[in-house]
Amino acid sequence: MDLVPAPTGKSSSLKSPVVEVEAVDMAPADTKETITTMENTAAVGNEAMQSEYETDSDDSGSDLEAELEVLHDEELRCGIPDACSLDEAIAFRNRLHEVGKAVFVQETIGADTITAKKLCTAFGILPPDFLDGAPDSAYHPLLAIAISREFSRRPKLPQYNSIEDAVKLLKESKKIIVITGAGISTSLGIPDFRSKDTGLYSKLEHLGLSDPQEVFDISVFREDPSIFFSIAKDILPTEKKYSPTHGFIRLLQDKGKLLTNYTQNIDNIEANAGVLPENIVQCHGSFATASCVKCEHKVMGDEIFGDIRKGLIPECSSCRKKLEDDSLKPQGMKRKRSTSATQKRRKADGEDSSDDDEDYELPTPGVMKPDITFFGEDLPDEFGRRLIHQDRDQVDLVIVIGTSLKVAPVAEVPGVLPRNVPQIYISRTPVSHTSFDIDLLGDCDVVVSELCRRAGWDFQHEMIPAGEKVEVSNVEGYESRHMFKVVGA
């Protein structure tokens, strides 16, 4: 399971590449003013647009996307009134990458060949209703955001399109980065977070939280750890099981092809499959270990799994031993407990507070918190260090599996890697905010097992039926997008 959105902190410095306009002087004076205005507003607007990427759901109906009125390519294909067609949108995007932002704005807005309002739709933004009737210049800030976002994202490599291309890349590559999310664990019964009706967040209404994400908020955990532990048993790692997709990552390792598996999942199931710790970056931490919130005593995660499965809050054994040792020593002065607001009100109202024990804090063991990264905590330093200073210079293939890649900083990984390195995407549904060279759509386990068959690799797993037949078809209108389906399923 991937903990999403990924918290950011002081140690997380990875940013998406920002490409500045370098050809402004090529534009006529009247166009320069338009470009300058658009560029100056883009920086502010981009900050607001970041919320679009803070979801792990593949559900196109998410609340954030609805509020931002995001247009997907599938909608453009069906036709939207007063919007670009999908073919027009693709042509505009290609032209932007070909000539750069300044010339593109000159050719479109500067030459009055299209309105800013309509051009926004080419880049996935449906103009908001509150701007209806406003002059076209009112859409420039929104268009600047859309253009900057599109221009900074990685363009597709045109030479990679077919299943055969994907298999050839798999066989020939020697330094593969694999980026994984919740989709590689769902076949084991571990829920993702945001899927409608089945995701973990859809089942948390009984907790009375204003936002279900609060269950992973570090401040909420410190105040009341029982909220997290009430759901922790549902996301614990399975007993020594792993999915075929985990097995596929292990196979890449065994063949000497795995450079690094960057996983957003916290279930640590990669270890069950035999992927070595040195080949994994746990971007959001994991259940593999746990630490005391008081004394920082660390234990292996499975030492507290028994308590978690019983619905108990695991306590620190080191703290408990220290308290037991202290109880054998001569007792000194009790530690005065700070007076709470409730106690102050009771005293002000004249209520009896003669029980002296209420004024003193009884020492208790610390809570053992699994070493997953909660909202409000820094990401592991290893993430940025390894990506920037090691893997970026070595990688020759990127495979993204089971994640919609809409969460910083992991979502930014494909964009910071060399653009000439091919990228393959494997998941149930495609993404529109990032360009991959080949999209392989379907159940992750089915896709990877079929790739191995076509590569001639001996790939065995108890969850892959003997003699399984998979039908692969092209998605209409997309040369490099393919659908995988088990025949007879």
Q: Is the domain of 174 the same as that of 99?
A: no
Spatial strand order in the sheet of 258-263: 280-282, 258-263, 176-180, 397-401, 423-427, 438-441, 481-486, 470-474
* CA–CA gap between residue 419 and residue 151 (Å, rounded): 13
**pLDDT tens figures, 261-271:** 999 998 889 98
Same domain, 278 and 395: yes
Burial class of residue 164, CB neighbours in 10 A (0-12, 13-18, 19+):
exposed
The helix (run of H) or strand (run of E) holding residue 481 is strand 481-486
The span from the first CA to the last CA of the chain, in angstroms, equals 26
**Of all helices (H) and strands (E), which one includes residue 105?**
helix 101-105
- Lowest mean per-residue pLDDT among 63-67, 250-254, 395-399: 63-67
Query: Across all residues in the chain, what is the average pLDDT?
Result: 79
Q: What is the DSSP letter of 183?
A: G
Residues 168 and 110 in one domain: no
What share of the chain has pLDDT > 90, as a percent?
Answer: 42
Mean pLDDT of 439-445: 97
- pLDDT of 318: 92
Count the neighbouring beta carbons within 10 Å of the beta carbon of residue 197.
Answer: 6
Q: What is the pLDDT of residues 6-19, one digit of tens each?
A: 333 333 344 332 22
Q: Are 84 and 126 in contact (CB under 8 A)?
A: no
pLDDT at 384: 86
What's the confidence (pLDDT) of residue 4? 38
pLDDT tens digits for 277-299? 999 999 888 888 999 999 999 99
Which of 72, 140, 246, 284 is catalytic? The answer is 284
CATH at residue 410: 3.40.50.1220
Q: Is residue 372 part of a domain?
A: no
Are 273 and 396 members of one domain? yes
Count how many domains the chain has. 2
Place 201 in a pLDDT band, splitting at 50, 70 and 90: low
Any domain includes 418: yes
Would you state the pLDDT for residue 206? 58
- pLDDT score, position 380: 76
Report the alpha-carbon distance of residue 166 to residue 176 in Å, rounded: 13
pTM of the full structure: 0.69
Q: Are residues 277 and 408 in the same domain?
A: yes
Q: How far is CA 335 from CA 72, 345, 358, 361, in A?
A: 60, 22, 12, 6
**pLDDT value of residue 145:** 86
pLDDT of amino acid 435: 83
Separation CA 388–CA 378 (nearest Å): 18
Q: How many angstroms separate the Cα of 254 from the Cα of each of 22, 79, 248, 251? A: 46, 47, 10, 5
477 near 77, Cβ under 8 Å? Answer: yes
Q: Same domain, yes or no, for 117 and 248? A: no
Give the model's pLDDT for residue 386. Answer: 93
Same-domain check for residues 385 and 254 = yes
Task: Please compute the mean of the pLDDT values over residues 159-187 and round it to a whole number.
Answer: 96
Q: Assess whether pLDDT exceeds 50 at residue 30.
A: no
Residues near 75 by beta carbon (within 8 Å), at least 6 away in sequence: none
Residue 125: DSSP 8-state: B
Residues 473 and 437 in one domain: yes
**Calculated CA dihedral for residues 164, 393, 148, 281, nearest 10 degrees:** 80
Annotated binding site for Zn(2+): 292, 295, 316, 319
**Between residues 462 and 198, which one has the greater pLDDT?**
462
The answer on 143 and 107 residing in a single domain is yes
pLDDT at 25 exceeding the cut of 70: no
Residue 317 lies in a domain: no
Question: Residue 197: its pLDDT value, please?
Answer: 55
Specify whether 69 is located in the same domain as 174: no
Which range is least confidently modeled, 50-59, 112-121, 130-139? 50-59
Active site residue 284: yes
- Paired with 401 in beta bridges are 180, 426
In tens, the pLDDT along 216-238 reads 888 889 999 988 898 888 777 76
Q: What is the pLDDT of residue 150?
A: 85
Residue-level pLDDT at 202: 53
Residues of the domain holding 277: 163-188+242-284+379-486
The mean pLDDT value for 97-120 works out to 91
In this prediction, residue 369 has a pLDDT band, given cuts at 50, 70 and 90, of: very high
- 387 & 482 share domain: yes
Q: List, in sequence order, the alpha helices (H) in 193-352.
A: 218-223, 226-232, 244-254, 269-273, 305-309, 317-327, 341-348
Structure token digits, residue 54: 């803070």
The continuous run of DSSP H or E covering 68 comes out as helix 63-68
Arithmetic mean of pLDDT, 409-414? 82
Average pLDDT over residues 354-373: 73
Which CB contacts under 8 angstroms, 24+ apart, belong to 13-17?
13/384, 14/383, 14/384, 14/387, 14/388, 14/408, 14/409, 14/412, 14/413, 14/416, 15/412, 16/152, 16/408, 16/412, 16/415, 16/416, 17/152, 17/415, 17/416
